[in-house]
Structure 1
Amino acid sequence: MAMIHTGGGREGTRLHVQRMSPEDGPPAATAVLLHGLLTDSLASYYFTIAPALVAAGIDVVMYDHRGHGRSARPDSGYRLDDFVTDLECLLGQLEITAPVHLVGNCFGGTVAFEYAVRHPGRVAGLFLIEANPATTSWAGEITGILERIVRELVEHEAETLAWVNANRGAHTARLARSAARLVRTTTIARDVPESDVLSEHEIRAVRCPVFALYGSDSELAGQETWLESLLPDLRTAVLPGQGHSVLAEAPGLVLDLLLSSILEHGRPPRIPVPAGSAPSGATSKAVER
């Protein structure tokens, strides 16, 4: 475990970082794993795909976003720009100068895409898990999500946490309690929706390989068509029967697709689909374009 102080935001913050490197020989690539918002942390990678990535010869960097996990929780400074600046400072302090593969789950994918817009020569590839670039539509969606979280986890915290504990278990209740504290004691619910958004011109300027992964039952399913119209080097996959929590619920499939993207730059491996479960247009593998 390491703590790195960044210059992100007005005063910078301390970030909890974990780096795992192959023991035999130089790494084939470096992957930086970025987690989602509020209830997430680097643990979602540490206990799923990170060890297997290292075993495959990849240098892995994970960190808790500001306000999350073991990183510091500043009172303010939670616009998308602050998260991207944290990533810039982190890579600089770790002296990682070669292009990296950015793997972003949900909000982490939004941070990764913004970094790629700012630093096109520093990104070898983007792997987006249930994530989209920051657009006007994204801002509206994240505003609605955060407003609901404020109602449920702040205004009715006791009732909501009791329900979560009874129906989702003690571990999920602890995550929800931490998210409630973050929303209650910082400006994150106000800052994230006020982030600057990208124009279609800026999105089109991304030239590195991009792989976008969705669950067929997720609200984001269908976004791949829009992304394909903007990005010349985009591949997408839709996992049948999966919702938004693809990383947690299907880590093996995510790992196979990610390794294919990083090491082979080829087409995704075949993914078995139970009879009758494939969405419209699917074959007996992930829906891939």
Structure 2
Amino acid sequence: MVIDDPIFPGGKTMTYVNGADGTKLYVEDAGDGAPVVFVSSAWLGTRMWEFQVPAVVAAGHRAVTYDRRGHGRSDRPWDGYDYDTLADDLAAILGELDLSGVTLVSQSMGAGEVVRYLTRHGSARVAGIVLIAPLTPLPMWLPDNPQGIPLEVFEAEDRLRAADRPGWMTASATGFFGDDHPEVSVSDAMRRWMIDQCLDVSARATSQVARAVFTTDFRAELPTVDLPALVLHGERDVQAPIDLCGRRTAELLPDARLRTYPDAAHGLFITHAAALNADLLGFLSRRVAAGAAEGSVRAS
């Protein structure tokens, strides 16, 4: 279905794509040009990119967003919240839309899906990656990962979340936005809007994706990603501490640039949208220029 939208010349297409096991995944597609596929944070979906998609389309790119299984307007199966299946869902979308020269842009949990997609399906369709507040390489404590968080801490939080999801999400919002800092401010309405999106997820998916994020180890996979990468991370992020996640992810990637935001927390795609969009668009323009240069060399 195509809807008229004054923000997106030519309209915006809304459709469903069959995922890895036939799960129907809700997809939105707007704009023309080099494709940018957004892979969302846990508990969020297409709506979270409200400040990024218009900027990307206005800059001459094609923007594709989707709701992960169990989230938003996609099907809600009982299983399939492991990274292999989620990466296969992403592969199904790229294949169904026949996308190439893609920049994969992810937030939080989505970084793991991007990395697992590349190590599982290869990089033939992808030109570069942007990881915003990634939760890679591994949040969980292990003897060789002493900075990590003990499993029993996660288990306790998972029980609290299961007992009162609305209460838990509401209590977590201050840390997510980092708006206890004088330089950061969000309205009560914005806070409620984001909480409502997080609650528009099945209870099963809420718990299962959190467990996948916490326990999956990407330390061996990140060094094999042979693509230009941009890592964007807030220095006040409590959900994905920068020294545990963002800096280590950038260090493990062979071709990565790390850009940090001193007063930003996990929700920097909202609180620091203007700066983040400028960094994102700069990366996209460099990827388009690199692609054009490669095409010129091949033509000659």
TM bucket normalised to smaller: 0.7 to 0.9
Mapped pair 1:15 → 2:33: no
Relative distance call for 1:113 and 1:157 in structure 2 (3 A) is closer
**Residues 212 and 237 in structure 1, CA contact (< 8 A), matched pair in contact too:** yes
Seen in structure 2, the aligned counterparts of structure 1 residues 73 and 170 have a Cα distance that, compared at 3 Å, is: farther
Aligned mates of 1:265, 1:74 — CA distance in 2: 36
State yes or no: 1:226 paired with 2:248: yes
1:51-130 counterparts in 2 under 5 A? 51-96=54-99, 98-118=100-120, 119-130=122-133
Aligned equivalents of 2:141, 2:283: Cα separation in 1? 25
The DSSP-based 3-state class of the residue aligned with 1:217 is coil
- The one-letter code of the counterpart of 1:12 is G
Deviation sequence 1:109-128 (CA, Å, 0-9, x none) = 22112212221222211100
Distance between the aligned counterparts of 1:81 and 1:145, measured in 2? 25
Deviation at 1:152, TM superposition (A): 3.1
Report if the CA contact (8 A) 1:132-1:138 is conserved.
Answer: no
Normalised TM-score (structure 1) = 0.74
In structure 2, stretches of 5+ residues that fail to align are: 1-12, 143-147, 174-186, 289-300
Equivalent position SS for 2:90: helix
How far, CA to CA, are the matches of 1:150 and 1:200 in structure 2?
24
- Tell me the number of residue pairs that the alignment of Structure 1 and Structure 2 aligns: 254
- Aligned equivalent of 1:282: none
Gaps of 5+ in 1: 267-289
CA distance in 1 between counterparts of 2:48 and 2:285 reads 22
* Distance change in 2, residues 1:130/1:138 (3 Å): farther
Deviation at 1:227? 3.3
In the TM superposition, what are the counterparts of 1:184-263 in structure 2 within 5 Å? 184=203, 186=204, 189-190=207-208, 193=211, 197-198=216-217, 200-219=219-238, 220-222=241-243, 223-263=245-285
For residues 264 and 246 of structure 1, what CA distance do their matches in structure 2 show? Answer: 22
Does structure 2 conserve the Cα–Cα contact (< 8 Å) formed by 1:80 and 1:192? Answer: no
Q: Distance in 1 between matches of 2:194 and 2:140?
A: 27
> What SS is found at the alignment partner of 2:22?
coil
- Alpha carbons of structure 1 residues 246 and 173: separation in structure 2 relative to 1, 3 Å: closer
- Computed over aligned residues only, the root mean square deviation of the Cα atoms, in angstroms, reads 3.3
Per the TM alignment, residue 221 of structure 1 is displaced from its structure 2 partner at its CA by 1.6
| Aligned-partner residue type, residue 218 of structure 1 | D
